[in-house]
């Protein structure tokens, strides 16, 4: 049985000589690189980034703990697939040992996420676009994915790059396709980077320009539609008043 304590024990070995925040970020990025394999070369699409990240860990002799960390994560998630408290190891570890609740980063408890997903779930006749504009570690989408009887498209936005990476891995490892973007959801033109999650073809792909982001385009269109309807609403209000 894997626990957050056993994950922390391995993490401490991997983090020897480095800061927890940096090592956690590097671990997430390395995992994403490993799930972004080019079938023609057998290497990551982001091989250069991967090699640059692991170099200092090779020198410190701590790189060997990264595969153990990933094993801890995957086994924990498999063992807790039906746990009502969820299988968001990354989010729990982040809150307890990385952010310590700074910047108000307290994620919604998984059982509350499940309750909210139940409220918003209905009869599923076709694939839906399910979005969380302040995703944290992605557990709202994970909870909805547990209840879904058919595949949906899951979209997420967060202003914190670590949250974007956690959500990307959580969606991928839970078999949920979609896209995660690092941006301010209140600013429709904002975009830093993103990841697309697919299972055919299998893997995670980085989105480096906003124009290539499905979510950014959806977000843009929704704001444009709201702007177009605002004058009409004002006209209707004036007619009612006068």
Per-residue pLDDT reduced to its tens digit, 102-160? 666 789 999 999 999 999 887 778 899 999 999 999 999 999 999 998 999 999 999 99
Encode pLDDT of 206-226 as tens digits: 999 999 999 888 877 765 565
Q: Which residues, at least 6 apart from 22, have a Cβ–Cβ distance to it below 8 Å?
A: none
d(CA 242, CA 238): 6
Which among 150, 158, 197, 207 is positioned nearest to 177, based on CA atoms? 197
For residue 99, the 8-state DSSP code is I
Q: Which residue blocks in the chain are alpha helix, DSSP H?
A: 4-14, 20-34, 47-60, 65-79, 89-93, 110-120, 139-147, 161-173, 214-241
d(CA 134, CA 186): 10
Strands (E), 126-207: 129-132, 153-158, 178-182, 193-199, 202-207
d(CA 85, CA 111): 6
Query: Which pTM does this prediction carry?
Result: 0.89
CB atoms within 10 A of CB 40: 6
Position 17 scores a pLDDT of 86
Q: b/e map of 210-226 (b: 16 or more CB within 10 Å)?
A: beebbbbeebbeeeeee
Residue 142, helix vs strand vs coil? helix
| Average pLDDT rounded to a whole number, residues 51-74 | 96
């Amino acid at each position: 049985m894997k626990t957050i304590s056993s994950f922390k024990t391995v993490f401490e070995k991997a983090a020897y000589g480095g800061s927890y925040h940096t090592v956690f970020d590097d671990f997430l990025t390395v995992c994403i690189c490993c799930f972004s394999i080019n079938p023609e070369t057998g290497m990551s699409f982001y091989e250069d980034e991967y090699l640059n990240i692991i170099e200092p860990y090779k020198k410190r002799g701590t790189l060997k703990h990264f595969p153990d960390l990933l094993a801890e994560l995957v086994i924990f998630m498999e063992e807790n697939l039906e746990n009502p408290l969820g299988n968001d190891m990354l989010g729990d570890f982040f809150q307890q040992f990385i952010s310590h609740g700074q910047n108000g980063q307290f994620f919604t408890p998984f059982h509350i996420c499940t309750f909210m997903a139940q409220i918003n779930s209905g009869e599923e006749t076709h694939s839906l676009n399910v979005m969380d504009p302040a995703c944290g570690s992605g557990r709202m989408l994970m909870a909805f994915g547990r209840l879904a009887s058919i595949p949906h498209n899951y979209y997420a936005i967060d202003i914190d790059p670590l949250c974007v990476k956690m959500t990307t891995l959580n969606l991928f490892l839970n078999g949920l396709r979609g896209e995660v973007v690092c941006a301010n959801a209140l600013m429709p033109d904002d975009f830093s980077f993103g990841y697309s999650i697919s299972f055919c073809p299998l893997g995670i792909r980085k989105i480096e320009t906003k124009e290539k982001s499905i979510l950014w385009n959806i977000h843009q269109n929704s704001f444009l539609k709201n702007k177009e309807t605002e004058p009409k609403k004002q006209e209707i209000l004036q007619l009612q008043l006068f």
